[in-house]
Amino acid sequence: MAALKLIALLLEFLIQTKRRNDDEEKKIRVDAAKSDPLNYLRQFGRVQHVANDDNEQTKAMPDKRTEADKHSNE
């Protein structure tokens, strides 16, 4: 019975240590995202470089009106 309690205490200690490490890593990631959000999002492919050419920018920016809106205005 004592061995079972010891194992339970050891497991609880390991779980708490893992959670503490995860919290510290999460805090580091949040701080990095707050200090340089653009660079942080680039790591995951969320932000892409758009060329400075005006034609390419208009192609990259979708029209906010739907096809139905376009036809109703004609």
Mean pLDDT by 10 residues, the chain (74 residues): 95 97 96 90 76 56 55 52
Q: Tokens 């959000």, residue?
A: 37
Strand residues in 1-74 grouped as ranges (E): none
Residue 53 CA to residue 59 CA, distance in Å, equals: 10
CB of 25 closer than 8 Å to CB of 17: no
Question: What φ, ψ does residue 64 adopt, rounded to 5°?
Answer: -75, -20
| Residue 64: predicted pLDDT | 56
CB of 73 closer than 8 Å to CB of 63: no
| Residue 42: predicted pLDDT | 85
pTM for the model: 0.51
